[in-house]
Amino acid sequence: MARGMMAVAVLAAGLATGAAAAGELQPRTNYILRCTGCHGMDGAGSPVGGIPDFRNYVGAFAGDDEGRTYILHVPGVIGASLTDNEIAGVINFIMANWAGSSLPAGYTPFTAAEVTERRARAVDDVVGFRRTIVARLAAAGVQTAGYPWP
């Protein structure tokens, strides 16, 4: 058992390597710890489970003003116990790794200040909000990942 505990400690230390002076974890580490349970290590999500696929789709939301607000209101983000800087880092990590061809030209990375401002906006029905954004993007010829929620 002590051997297993040491392995966990070594893994945790390795994941935290390079953490910010304020004790923040690196974006990849936060993604692993906070996002892989639903979106997986490869960003594929779980269409059967209602979790959208990031790969070549998530960038569509980053290129849309309301889409950027939506990203910050999905349950795993709005309820995250991360700093706004860490959230910006994770979202930028996701965009860099999985947005692919969906990332619009001139994409602007998320900042802590933007995260603070957009998370403060009221979004009463995140599913309905997403549907409105997706309909507008689809009308403009922009494809997004499937989403089975009612």
pLDDT tens digits, one per residue of 101-114: 999 999 999 999 99
Sequence-ordered list of residues with C-beta below 8 angstroms from that of 37, at least 6 positions apart, any chain: none
Q: Is the dihedral of CA 130, 131, 133, 137 positive or negative?
A: positive
CATH architecture classification, 26-139: Orthogonal Bundle (1.10)
Query: Mutual orientation of helices 84-94 and 112-119 as an angle, nearest 10°?
Result: 100
Quote the pTM value.
0.81
Query: Confidence class of residue 19 from pLDDT cuts 50, 70 and 90?
Result: very low
